[in-house]
Chains A and B, each alone.
Chain A
């Protein structure tokens, strides 16, 4: 069964460093998302991406964050200068069509980011 994959599973970085989290969505999906969960808190939406541009973003997704689909398969989240409060589990998700909110979003296993 097709699945969303994410690498790395765990990333440790120093405050102020740039990190890139990588995702390979399901191949025929058109919508892509990033969510995160800070330990003990809710899973929060960060950004959605469709047709090579951001379709929606949350207040969390400030200028330090960016997303890219550099080729036909990868979807990346970049944090330019990490802060301690960026430590969280980051989930990538994809969905099949622009029917959007009635379509199941398929989640990857997550990347645990630890900022020291």
Chain B
């Protein structure tokens, strides 16, 4: 069983705050990491797929970094807006792990005005 931990479980920030949260996963046999954003009553939406140690990806105000040697990824949101309110899920894939996504528990972000 692939153990994926995300922290914090939930986060309340004010509009304009920058924030970050963590995804931890086993470092051995790492292949790729997916980040998804899931707004209430909508479909989970892919943000990033990351594969290389030290990789950094960016989409607008959201960016992510990857450390495969120690088994973690950070997701950063700069200048949070209310529309960033969602649950952010990570899903690492190990070598030989097939196509399935094994999700963490998610970090629920609420951005308040």
Residues of A bordering B, CB below 8 Å: 3-4, 31, 33, 35, 42-45, 48, 55-56, 58, 91, 95, 100-110
Contacts and interface: CB of A to CB of B under 8 A. Distances in A.
Contacts of A101: 31-32, 93, 97-99
A48 B49 contact: no
Contacts of A45: 100-102
Contact of A102 (B32, B42, B43, B106): B32
Given A42-B105, A102-B49, A109 B43 contact: yes
Contacts of A58: 100
Interface string B70-81: 000000000000
A56 B100 contact: yes
B101 to A, nearest CB: 6
Contact of A4 (B34, B43, B101): B43
Interface string B31-65: 11010100001111110010100000000000000
Contacts, number: 60
B104 A42 contact: yes
Nearest to A104: B46
17 contacts: A3-B43, A4-B43, A31-B99, A42-B106, A55-B99, A56-B99, A56-B100, A91-B44, A101-B31, A101-B97, A102-B32, A104-B34, A105-B34, A105-B46, A105-B101, A107-B36, A109-B41
Interface of B: 31-32, 34, 36, 41-46, 49, 51, 89, 93, 97-106
Given A43-B44, A58-B100, A107-B44, 18 more contacts: A33-B99, A35-B101, A42-B104, A43-B103, A44-B103, A45-B102, A48-B99, A55-B98, A91-B43, A100-B98, A102-B32, A102-B51, A103-B49, A105-B34, A105-B99, A106-B46, A107-B36, A109-B42
Contacts of A109: 41-43
Contacts of B101: 35, 43, 45, 105
